[in-house]
Amino acid sequence: MKIYRTAEWQARPPRAYARRSTPTLIVIHHTATKPGKDLSLEAAAGLARAIQRHHMDANGWDDSGHNFLVSVQGYVLEGRHGSLEALEAGESIISAHSGNAAANASFGIENEGCYGDCPMPDEQWRSLVELCTFICLKQGLAPDCIKGHRDFRATECPGDWLYAKLPELRKAVAINLEKIQ
Ligand SMILES: [Zn+2]
């Protein structure tokens, strides 16, 4: 699947590169932002830059907190530098998406939008299923490793609607994995 690397969305260099880790989970988030009307790749890249800027300048983090961003258009963009390289090597990197050490040692996926009570676009859902399938495949993880941010700390994230869809997400990933293996 196509994952846009940090260089492809003009990410800033990180303050420090993250250490590798052994993933056991996939943690699902939403950005809790209003999705834009511009459906171009450039709009998705702009969102990735805005999140990185917020995480580095407001939160004081080394880099983007998450590992991957799925835009409303269904584009998948690398977050923290080194995430894609680690994924391809069957590993993860220490990130800052969950406020929980075990969760941060595994991949965090941000989904553009606010999914408290409204559904995500089909294109975004399909990309999320594909990305989770790819991660499970590369890391030898079972679909039941897919969790929501609220499983690790007191937060609304990833929204009631998306959280309630996690069983369906696990099932869709399991079906994909059966087809591949
Ligand atoms: Zn979250």
Q: How far is the CA of 89 from the centre of ligand 1 (A)?
A: 25
- Quote the pLDDT of residue 181: 74
Q: How far is the CA of 179 from the centre of ligand 1 (A)?
A: 30
CATH number of the CATH domain containing 141:
3.40.80.10
Structural domain includes residue 16: no
* Total domain count, the chain: 1
Count Cβ atoms below 10 Å from residue 154 Cβ, excluding itself: 6
Structure tokens at 129: 């299923």
Answer yes or no: pTM beyond 0.85: yes
Structural domain includes residue 124: yes
The per-residue pLDDT string of the chain (181 residues; one tens digit each, 9 = 90 and over) reads 899 999 999 999 999 999 999 999 999 999 998 887 888 999 999 999 999 999 999 999 999 999 999 999 999 999 999 999 999 999 999 999 999 999 999 999 999 999 999 999 999 999 999 999 999 999 999 999 999 999 999 999 999 999 999 999 999 999 999 998 7
Q: How far is the CA of 181 from the centre of ligand 1 (A)?
A: 31
* Domain limits for position 169: 23-180
Structural domain includes residue 18: no
Q: How far is the CA of 101 from the centre of ligand 1 (A)?
A: 14
Distance, CA of 86 to chain centre: 14
Structure tokens at 111: 């989904």
Structural domain includes residue 6: no
Q: Which residues contact 47 (CB under 8 A, 6 or more apart)?
A: 31, 33, 36, 69, 71, 112
Q: Please, which residues have CB less than 5 A from ligand 1, an ion?
A: 29, 149, 157
Structural domain includes residue 88: yes
Q: How far is the CA of 134 from the centre of ligand 1 (A)?
A: 21
Residues 171 and 37: beta-carbon distance below 8 Å: no
- Quote the pLDDT of residue 103: 95
Q: How far is the CA of 158 from the centre of ligand 1 (A)?
A: 6
Max Cα–Cα distance, the chain, nearest Å: 43
